[in-house]
Amino acid sequence: MTTPQDVREEIVSTVRRFVEREVMPVASELEHRNEYPHALVKRLKELGLFGATIPQEYGGLDLDVTTYAMVVEELCKGWMSLSGVLNTHLMLAFMLKTHGSDEQKRRYLPGMASGEHHGALCLTEPHAGSDVQRIRTTAVRRGDDYILNGSKMFITNARSATLYAIAAKTDNKIDPPYKGISMFVGEKGPGLSVGRDLEKLGYKGIETCEVHMEDYRVPLTNLLGGKEGQGFFHVMSGLEVGRINIAARAVGVASAAFHQAIRYAQQRETFGKPIAEHQAIQLKLADMATKIEAARLLTYAAADKKDRGERCDVEAGMAKLFSSETCLEVATEAMRILGGYGYTNEFPVERYYRDAPLMIIGEGTNEIQRLVIAKQLLQRHKI
Amino acid sequence: MKILVTVKRVPDPNASIKVKPDGTGIITDNLKYVVNPFDEIAIEEALRLKEKSGGAEVVLVSVGSKTAQEQLRTGLAMGADRAILVVAEQELDSLAVARIFHKLVQDEKADLVLLGKQAIDDDANQTGQMLAALLGWPQATFASKTDSLESEAEKSGTPGIQISGGAAKVVREVDGGLETLELPVPAVITVDLRLNVPRYASLPGIMKARKKELKELAIDSLGVDVKPKLKILRLDPPPKRQAGRKVGSVQELVQALHNEAKVI
Ligand SMILES: Cc1cc2nc3c(=O)[nH]c(=O)nc-3n(C[C@H](O)[C@H](O)[C@H](O)COP(=O)(O)OP(=O)(O)OC[C@H]3O[C@@H](n4cnc5c(N)ncnc54)[C@H](O)[C@@H]3O)c2cc1C
């Protein structure tokens, strides 16, 4: 379903207003204290954002991917961590709505839409990031349950979550190994414990942790889609939306950095005039804005393709790759324009500069991104 | 109870407004439009009165171009029940707008009309007063309240205007203080800035607003005299702000404020 244009505009402008009034004034302070934004998360729930992409029949808004990307962009203009609160939650919801049984959807989606349930995504392990099929967490069937054992790494929202999508091996011998991966939707409970919080360069305020499973029981009815061996396929199916989401984040952070830079450039004077009148600064501003616009259009184009029901893995990959590299570049340029002040805590540019690198790594590193794009291109253009 | 609330489409107060070189108007390219902030406060108050009384209907009315639909939809998304747009592409003065509202109030048999004390585009501050005169109803202008906007009462959504036993109690903002009035309902009330902090539309509210009634009426169909009585001759931008002055000490500052600016 596509979101009608007027509804899309109204939703995006409402989120923008929320960000300008309630997020921007407090974001840097919370971030510097590495404090979980409880009050803002409550507001995200009140606004209905926990149900952003969940179907209306389960109490969500059923926004299309384009509108969702625009919402993510707006949130990230204020503070990237807020979109992180929603991201893994909505990835879990996406897997449930796409692959879950009717009973699983009825059981979990309404609570996820209202924010009673908060989702986390547990794929990465200490020794397996890009190479998902090498995960070691096991799930062994015993009676009406699966017993899960293993450790996960880099799990965002691990502590605040009540619901976990967990990739685990139900078959260790099968070749190729990815066919042995299954996806479980587990509720917080005995056997699942959240380990230490990782100290991060940026993306603060929101927790990224280790998750340990020791004889953690998940009922048979919580095997996603009710079929073993589908986990890898479930992960892959979410990648397009996941990459569009990261691209939108990068566009948001880059826009915020640019906005700060172009304002500052008109206020700061050197050698008798505002630095915006020095040609060297103008060249930077023009390049920054041009790249951001290109990144935004790539992101919207991929989202539009997804909304039309077409395959968009190459487009989503290109959007993620270009937007995240642009964001890193623009954040650095913004810091140059702000000079010494850019390096201090007094302006949010230092925060954008620390948040930007996550996008070149998360949701498939940009190296992996290039490989995937090239592989697909070679298939499309096979002679 | 039926509450009519007026909604005007105005340029975003945060936008920087540029006057056309010939002074006939403002440059509207790339200009963003919003609900007049005072009208937004009026909508919020109407919704609070509705929530407290349990039975009221909140009807939004606007006069203007078809694009004012956007602002009405925003009000509907906040929670109003339905909306009426009187479509007029021509410029209208305050009296013409007041006459249109007069007709709508009669047709709708409204019990209470809430308006912003003024619209932030032309700052006329007279539509509410004119409407009260046309209707022959009592009016209270600049509605405010004694509780602060940080108070618990405000946070819990308590209305500042109290209605009971066929009378409205209104706290007004007057020079240097507050005045409390009681007036019989039906009445016209215009609202000031410190009456409440308007909610914004929740996203589910925005989805629901699409299904609410938004009726359009052609201005000619109302049989109201809208001939302008007022002509805008020209607009001029405000003079450029003068550079400030640095003073050497607090003492010098106090002297300057006292002797030159004469503010203390
Ligand atoms: C803040 C943060 C939050 C995260 N949140 C989550 C979460 O909620 N859930 C979750 O499951 N994961 C999460 N992750 C994990 C993230 O998805 C992984 O870090 C990412 O997939 C990369 O994996 P890795 O760190 O193991 O790097 P590796 O896979 O070890 O890669 C190391 C380097 O080798 C390169 N490389 C790897 N393979 C190839 C190849 N074939 N060819 C060329 N180069 C290659 C990579 O590009 C990279 O440069 C998070 C990570 C961070 C930093």
**Residue listed under structure tokens 């995240």:** A324
Residue percentage of chain A with pLDDT more than 70? 100
- In the block, residue with structure tokens 């060297």: A280
Average pLDDT, integer, range B156-160: 92
Closest CA to B96 of B123, B120, B64: B64
Q: Is the CB of A154 under 6 A from ligand 1?
A: yes
The reply to whether residue A61 touches residue B200, judged by beta carbons under 8 angstroms, is no
What residues contact residue A182 under an 8 Å CB cut-off, 6+ apart?
A139, A167, A168, A169, A170, A223, A224, A227, A228, A229, A230, A231
**Closest Cα to atom 32, ligand 1: which residue?**
A130
Gap between the Cα atoms of B253 and A270, Å rounded:
28
What is the C-alpha separation between A39 and A259, in angstroms, rounded? Answer: 26
Which CATH topology does A5-117 take? Butyryl-Coa Dehydrogenase, subunit A; domain 1 (1.10.540)
* Element (DSSP H or E) covering residue A167: strand A163-169
CA distances from B114 to A235, B187, B217 (A): 54, 9, 21
Residue to mutate, A85, A125, A154, ligand 1, most ligand atoms under 8 Å from C-beta:
A154
Distance from residue A357's CA to the centre of ligand 1 (Å): 12
Q: Select from B72, B203, B211 the residue whose CB has the most chain A CBs within 10 Å, as the one to mutate to test that interface.
A: B203
pLDDT tens for B2-48 read 999 999 999 999 888 999 999 989 999 989 999 999 999 999 999 99
Q: Which of B84, B88, B122 is nearest to B4 (CA)?
A: B84
**HSE on the CB side for A320, CA within 13 Å?**
29
Give me the catalytic one of A125, A207, A315, A363: A363
Give the per-residue pLDDT at B264.
83
Kindly determine whether residue A48 and residue B203, on different chains, have CB atoms separated by under 8 Å: yes
Q: What is the pLDDT of residues B111-145, one digit of tens each?
A: 999 999 999 999 999 999 999 999 999 999 999 99
Residue A365 Cα, ligand 1 centroid: separation in angstroms?
Answer: 6
Question: Does residue B54 carry a pLDDT above 80?
Answer: no
Residue B204 Cα to ligand 1 midpoint, Å, equals: 36
The whole-angstrom distance between A1's CA and the closest CA on chain B is 14
Give the pair of three-digit tokens for residue A185: 């939707």
Delineate the domains of chain B, giving CATH numbers in brackets.
Answer: 2-238 (3.40.50.620)
Q: Residues A232-272: pLDDT tens digits?
A: 999 999 999 999 999 999 999 999 999 999 999 999 999 99
User: Could you say which of A11, A52, A56 has the minimum Cβ distance to residue B206?
Assistant: A11
pLDDT of residue A6: 86
User: What does the pLDDT read at residue A200?
Assistant: 96
Which pLDDT belongs to residue A1?
66
Nearest protein CA to atom 25 of ligand 1, as residue? A129
Rounded CA-CA distance A279/A354 in Å is 28
Instruction: Give me the residues of chain A with pLDDT under 50, please.
Output: none
Residue type at A42 in one-letter notation: K
Test A10 with B74 for CB contact under 8 angstroms: yes
With cut-offs at 50, 70 and 90, classify the pLDDT of residue B246. confident
Closest CA to A90 of A106, A104, A108, A103: A108
SS3 (DSSP) at B257 = helix
B73 touches chain A (CB under 8 A): yes
Of the candidates A9, A17, A61, which has its C-beta nearest B203's C-beta? A61
Beta-bridge partner residues of A155: A209
Give yes or no for a contact between A166 and A152, defined as CB atoms under 8 angstroms apart.
yes
Whether the CB of A121 sits within 6 Å of ligand 1: yes
Distance CA A337, CA B69 (A): 42
Q: What letters, b where the CB count within 10 A reaches 16 and e where it falls short, cover A95-114? A: bbbebbeeebbebbbbbbbb
Q: Please return the burial class of A323, using the count of CB atoms within 10 Å of its CB with bins 0-12, 13-18 and 19+.
A: buried
| pLDDT digit string, tens, across residues A38-74 | 999 999 999 999 999 999 999 999 999 999 999 999 9
**Domain layout of chain A by residue ranges:** 5-117, 120-231, 238-380
Contact B207 A61 (CB under 8 A): yes
Tell me yes or no: is domain A120-231 CATH 2.40.110.10: yes
- What is the amino acid identity at position A241? V
Determine, for residues A49 and B203 on separate chains, whether the beta-carbon distance falls below 8 Å: yes
Residue of A10, A15, A52 lying closest to B77 (CB–CB): A10
Instruction: Closest CB to B73: pick one of A10, A56, A61.
Output: A10
Q: What angle do CA A313, A316, A317 make, to 5 degrees?
A: 80
> Stretch B144-172: mean pLDDT, rounded?
92
For chain A, the first-to-last Cα distance in angstroms comes to 36
Confidence of residue B166 (pLDDT cuts 50, 70, 90): very high
Q: How far is A280 from chain B (nearest CA, A)?
A: 27
- Cβ distance A256 to A77 under 8 Å? yes
What is the DSSP annotation of B184-242? ESSEEEEE-GGG-------HHHHHHHTTS-EEEEEGGGG------S-------PPPPPP
The Cα angle at residue B15 between residues B116 and B242, in degrees rounded to 5? 105
Nearest CA to CA, how far is A296 from chain B (Å)?
19
Q: Would you say B131 and B98 are in contact if contact means Cβ atoms under 8 Å apart? A: yes
How crowded is residue A13: how many other Cβ atoms within 10 Å of its Cβ?
Answer: 19
Between positions 186 and 215 of B, the ones with CB within 8 A of A are 200-204, 206-207, 209-210
Contact A367, A279 (CB under 8 A): no
For chain A, what is the mean pLDDT?
96
CATH superfamily of A238-380: Butyryl-CoA Dehydrogenase, subunit A, domain 3 (1.20.140.10)
Q: Is A323 in the pocket of ligand 1 (CB under 6 A)?
A: no
E-only strand ranges, chain B: 2-6, 9-11, 33-35, 57-64, 82-87, 112-116, 139-144, 162-164, 167-174, 177-184, 187-191, 214-218
Nearest CA to ligand 1 atom 12: A124
Q: How far is the CA of A146 from the centre of ligand 1 (A)?
A: 27
Q: Is A73 a catalytic residue?
A: no
Q: Cα separation of B36 and A201, whole Å?
A: 43
Counting from 1 in the atom list of ligand 1, the atom nearest the Cα of A203 is 1
3-state secondary structure of B121: coil
Q: Residue A119 corresponds to which tokens in the numbers above?
A: 């989702």
Structure tokens at B166: 């066929």
**Best CA proximity match to A220, nearest among A185, A179, A256, A254:** A185
Determine if ligand 1 sits within 6 Å of the CB of residue A130: yes
Nearest to B143 by CA among B167, B116, B108: B116
